Structure 1
């Protein structure tokens, strides 16, 4: 059997200091030593490794150099040295002629790749991510079969050799997180390149020669903070381009030629705060994200008939709280073209100046997620019928929410920083699982007790809310958080919440009473904080906590123990006996007496 063994896996053998004798395993093709932290070197005899085609020494952190017997590994096709302490990659002449994959990711001590790497004539995949190398040798250009090159996170490397243009077989090039400020013009010869990733690099401009990469399908340049100006018009030659990601850059314009990109499906220009206007965009787009402080006009997207995801923002919801109205948008009461995008599935709008939405918005039957953060939006007359998520935020001019009676499929409802006083049709939301209301003008929650599918309820900063309906019908509720509801004085039906796992009540200073929490048998987290009146009621309940056998965290501040259970004398600072809290992991009693 040993003579036929092809794979030996010794992963995680941390006490292995020397590899075993392989002389009896003449057919061994794959040797896995991943995570053998005690291993210092690969000291097998040359004959033992002659038929090996894969050697994995990933995370063998004490190995400081490549094996000395590499030349004898005539069949080796894969060498994985990720996470080792090797300092240099040097290949003896004539060795590893069949090697196809060399991966040295996260080798923090790796500072040099010698010119001998050019000897690897069969290499198709080279990964040097997060190493400390400062350059690639000119001989890199001799790797004519190389298809994937990854230098992600190599911050110390700032320049590619001109010879890189000789990599005519290259399909994937990842320079994300590197120190490169520019690409060599020789990249124009990479005729097979399909994916170019520059995310988080120091690149300042995309060169015009990028238009020569005729097979390019993806450009990823997100979070390139030095990338500025306009994208070169030559990008219009990339007829196969599908993805263009330029978010969080200083790009201030796209060329008119972008409309020629008939295969473009995703354009991401989120957080491009110097972008002022958009040109005509290709009708092939499925996903469009655009946000900018400098946006001067809302683009007309009526021709984007295939669009499924749309995010448009002038970031007004981020600025209005501390800068006032600084939007550069011209008056745009309602973008009527929104109702024409019949294939939309997700729509996120964060635009000032919009006061109404088109009535045809209700006809978008495929729309599942609607997020509206529009400070001047006054109302939404009618909503699409098949929403699963609805979020209304920072709509300072909206006091009335559209009737939700027809939203039978709504799963999540979020209302944030809006003066909405009532949720009409709440009782009809039979499928609703999440209801989050924060800093709104809600005065009542009629129908809340009918939401039998509700799993999470968060009410935060609802100062006008004085009383909740009876909650005992919320049999599936797992999480209840009541925070900073200053005037809320009563919560009924708490004891009927048989599925409740998390109960947090903080800053509800008027709350005088709620049901005994000792009936909540699945409760795992209980926090009561800054509820001056409630603490007296809760004190009497702590003595009946034996039913809370699953409680893992109890946090109560400024607790005053009830007279019936309050000890005296030397015992005065002790909590009452809590005998069945066997799973309790943390207990807080801040400011308690």
Structure 2
């Protein structure tokens, strides 16, 4: 770093990706008007040992400094708003001076060796974002009661983290909570009021044994419990989540999502794929705005609820590798359905009537081994672009293979039957 003595009015310094930079010139102390200091992706080991006063410093970025072993004393920069030490892989301890940073809004420490952020109560009244994802040595969440204005928390893939601090209950402004890939068994006990919580991500929490009571978080829009392999039951409080838009529960031990009619007017995506214990789909008549449904690889699923016929906004339906024998009886009016995947449905004995799904663009009946003829309704599918039929028992199959050109589609699909050949075959029968 050059001598900066003759530039005392500097406000912004950016040495990002100066990969040979390993030391800071002592003249940096004279930069009393400095507001931004960015030194990410350098070889810095330690900034300075002595206290430096930067009253105007707001942004401090030392991310991806792989040699950094120690955070400097920050008490001389009390107006800091953003700190980023992400990917400082040798950094194992946070300096106690964080306690004086009353204006701090964002703290990013992902992919560090941090074991504990701070001990006891630390008052950070303006802190809004806390990111400690992939801190594999982190063993506990700090007391957050002194940061009541937190909006986003990310502890994803902190593989040693097994307990949530009870102070999470006071975070009334919390909007996003991500703790996927941790070892927690329970998020919280009893009723916790988080009125602004919109997104809850606990994906891949293999030790999680129960879903928390969510009745105190009525504004949740997205819930992610995918691949929580010990989770086998829904909490009844889910019925009160009227603003829920996405529910992801793939790879769990769920047998039944809910009983009877449950109203989710805003739910658009429902993913219960790879739920091996799921035996029947729930009543979906209270979810009229669903756009995407995935029950793929639910190998025990043998029954589909008739309420699917009322899903006028449904666009994608994925049911590959299930045990269902019949998708629906008679007509199902699905004017917006574009994708239908029934591949590897070995028990399915017939293609459903698709005449009221005229906007279908992609159909996959691959390895639908009982399939030996088409339903005549396929003739009305004028917008059909892709059809997969490999591994079926179709008789008199023309030896025509068609691939869509790159100009027509990003995906190149090879079809054992061209649409023209299918229509000719249907006319002859």
Q: Shorter-chain TM-score category? A: 0.7 to 0.9
1:427 aligns with 2:269: no
1:509–1:335 Cα change, 3 Å: farther
RMSD: 3.0
Choose the corresponding residue for 2:312, options 463, 467, 475: 475
Deviation at 1:424, TM superposition (A): 2.0
Residue matched to 1:170? 10
Matches within 5 A, 1:334-483: 335-350=165-180, 351-355=182-186, 357-361=188-192, 363-373=193-203, 374-383=205-214, 384-403=217-236, 404-424=238-258, 427-440=262-275, 441-470=277-306, 471-483=308-320
Distance in 2 between residues matched to 1:174 and 1:460, nearest whole Å:
49
1:437–1:177 Cα change, 3 Å: farther
Choose the corresponding residue for 1:588, options 414, 417, 428: 414
Residue matched to 2:426? none
1:487 aligns with 2:323: yes
Distance in 2 between residues matched to 1:496 and 1:219, nearest whole Å:
57
1:167–1:500 Cα change, 3 Å: farther
1:554 aligns with 2:387: yes
Deviation digits for residues 449-488 of structure 1, max 9, x if unmatched? 44211111122332222222121111001122234x3433
Choose the corresponding residue for 2:53, options 203, 212, 224: 212
Distance in 2 between residues matched to 1:340 and 1:397, nearest whole Å:
28
1:241–1:491 Cα change, 3 Å: same
Distance in 1 between residues matched to 2:155 and 2:363, nearest whole Å:
40
Choose the corresponding residue for 1:529, options 359, 366, 377: 366
Distance in 2 between residues matched to 1:424 and 1:271, nearest whole Å:
38
Bigger mean CA offset, 432-441 vs 489-498: 489-498
Higher relative contact order (CA 8 A, sep 6+): 2
Deviation digits for residues 95-132 of structure 1, max 9, x if unmatched? xxxxxxxxxxxxxxxxxxxxxxxxxxxxxxxxxxxxxx
Distance in 2 between residues matched to 1:199 and 1:510, nearest whole Å:
57
Distance in 2 between residues matched to 1:491 and 1:210, nearest whole Å:
71
Residue matched to 2:129? 287
Deviation digits for residues 185-205 of structure 1, max 9, x if unmatched? 233333322222334444444
Residue matched to 2:21? 181
Deviation at 1:438, TM superposition (A): 3.1
Choose the corresponding residue for 1:504, options 334, 337, 341: 341
Distance in 1 between residues matched to 2:290 and 2:413, nearest whole Å:
28
Distance in 2 between residues matched to 1:226 and 1:288, nearest whole Å:
21
Deviation at 1:276, TM superposition (A): 0.8
Find the residue that maps to 2:132 and give its secondary structure: strand
1:546–1:490 Cα change, 3 Å: closer
Distance in 2 between residues matched to 1:486 and 1:298, nearest whole Å:
41
Find the residue that maps to 2:33 and give its secondary structure: coil
Choose the corresponding residue for 1:248, options 66, 71, 87: 87
Deviation at 1:312, TM superposition (A): 2.2
Contact 1:376–1:396 (8 Å) recurs in 2: yes
Distance in 2 between residues matched to 1:183 and 1:502, nearest whole Å:
57
Distance in 1 between residues matched to 2:11 and 2:348, nearest whole Å:
64
Distance in 2 between residues matched to 1:255 and 1:207, nearest whole Å:
13
Find the residue that maps to 2:240 and give its secondary structure: coil
In structure 1, runs of 5+ residues without a counterpart are: 1-159, 317-326, 567-571, 577-582
1:512–1:182 Cα change, 3 Å: farther
Bigger mean CA offset, 173-182 vs 429-438: 173-182
Q: Normalising by the residue count of structure 2, what TM-score does the alignment of the two structures yield?
A: 0.82
More strand by share: 1
More helix by share: 1
Deviation digits for residues 35-66 of structure 1, max 9, x if unmatched? xxxxxxxxxxxxxxxxxxxxxxxxxxxxxxxx
Q: Normalising by the residue count of structure 1, what TM-score does the alignment of the two structures yield?
A: 0.61
Find the residue that maps to 1:428 and give its secondary structure: coil
Distance in 2 between residues matched to 1:497 and 1:258, nearest whole Å:
57
Contact 1:492–1:514 (8 Å) recurs in 2: no
Choose the corresponding residue for 1:301, options 120, 137, 144: 144
Contact 1:459–1:482 (8 Å) recurs in 2: yes
Distance in 2 between residues matched to 1:164 and 1:525, nearest whole Å:
63
Residue matched to 2:116? 277
Find the residue that maps to 1:435 and give its secondary structure: strand
Contact 1:556–1:589 (8 Å) recurs in 2: yes
Distance in 2 between residues matched to 1:252 and 1:235, nearest whole Å:
16
Deviation at 1:210, TM superposition (A): 8.3
When the two structures are aligned, how many residues end up with a matched partner? 398
Residue matched to 1:88? none
Contact 2:401–2:415 (8 Å) recurs in 1: no
1:225–1:478 Cα change, 3 Å: farther
Deviation digits for residues 409-429 of structure 1, max 9, x if unmatched? 111111133212221267321
Deviation digits for residues 353-372 of structure 1, max 9, x if unmatched? 433513232x2112111122
1:356–1:288 Cα change, 3 Å: closer
